[in-house]
Amino acid sequence: MNNNSTAFIKEDPWRIFRIMSEFVDSFEKLSHVNPAVTVFGSARMKPANPYYRRAVTLGKELAKQNLAVITGGGPGIMEAANKGAAVGKGKSVGLNIELPHEQKGNPYANIPINFHYFFARKVCFAKYSVAFVFMPGGFGTLDEFFEIATLVQTERIPKFPLILFGKKFWSGVLRWMETQMQEQNKFIGPNDLKLFTITDDPHEAVALILDYVRRVGPPEKIPMAFA
């Protein structure tokens, strides 16, 4: 038996229990906060940035409508959205991930949940949200955007509102998707580009989410991801 096989026997099976514990703990806590809206965005956004202030407003307005706010639990845009939800006396959820350098939990998440595994955290973003707002961000935000978009496109989750917040930031991405992915190469269909709404107004974003919630019905009738 080689060293790799020995390591598998000693370590990998036990990781399953750590993974299971993350799902059990997070599912138990998040099952009490629906309906919720997940807000993605850069951890590096400073409080003086207009997008930070708009994220605070967004979180506050969502809380006023009894919608919980879920973020990645860190600084920047995540902190701003959690802050708005907390100020609005709503449920402010932070799904914090253990990272060696950047991530640090913000103080505004009144329902903090810690994760070791990115994939377990991603499942919780999708499973317990009825809408997704993508503020300007880096690789992580783009990863989350395309993953959620893929889940909606392939009908693995319902057609929840996908809101791209920041016309200046996102317009180039949408233009590239239209010209390169759709028109020139036919990698996506024209209807795929209709999955998103782009805005610069927190109140418009909230209105779009509320319209979806009203059309679907009371909380118990709102379809869940991965039901």
Q: What is the domain partition of the chain in residue ranges?
A: 3-220
End-to-end CA distance of the chain: 42
Q: How many residues does the chain have?
A: 227
CATH number belonging to domain 3-220: 3.40.50.450
Predicted TM-score (pTM) of the model is: 0.91
Q: DSSP characters for 137-162?
A: -SHHHHHHHHHHHHHHHTTSS----E
Are β-strands 92-97 and 111-115 bridged in parallel, bridged antiparallel, or unpaired?
A: parallel
- Give backbone dihedrals phi and psi of 78, rounded to 5 degrees, phi first: -60, -45
pLDDT per residue rounded down to tens, the chain (227 residues): 455 555 555 677 788 888 999 999 999 999 998 799 999 999 999 999 999 999 999 999 999 999 999 999 999 999 999 999 999 999 999 999 877 665 678 999 999 999 999 999 999 999 999 999 999 999 999 999 999 999 999 999 999 999 999 999 999 999 999 999 999 999 999 899 999 999 999 999 999 999 999 998 766 667 767 65
41 φψ region: left (φ > 0), alpha (ψ -120 to 50), beta (else): left
